[in-house]
Amino acid sequence: MAALVDFVVDHWLPVSLVVLTALAIAYITAKHKALFYKE
């Protein structure tokens, strides 16, 4: 577990970019599904 924390601390910028990208994709996908099912 400590190794994972060290990795995140050392690579916080790419890790945060990956997390933000994943959240954005999930949000867009959910929005598209909501619009699709509303029709």
For 1-38, the pLDDT digits (tens) are 789 889 888 999 999 999 999 999 999 999 988 887 77
DSSP the chain: -HHHHHHHHHTHHHHHHHHHHHHHHHHHHHHHHHHHHH-
Q: Which domain holds residue 31?
A: 2-38
Asked if residue 39 has pLDDT above 80, the reply is no
Number of domains in the chain: 1
Please provide residue 11's backbone torsions phi and psi, each rounded to the nearest 5 degrees.
-125, 40
pTM above 0.85, yes or no: no
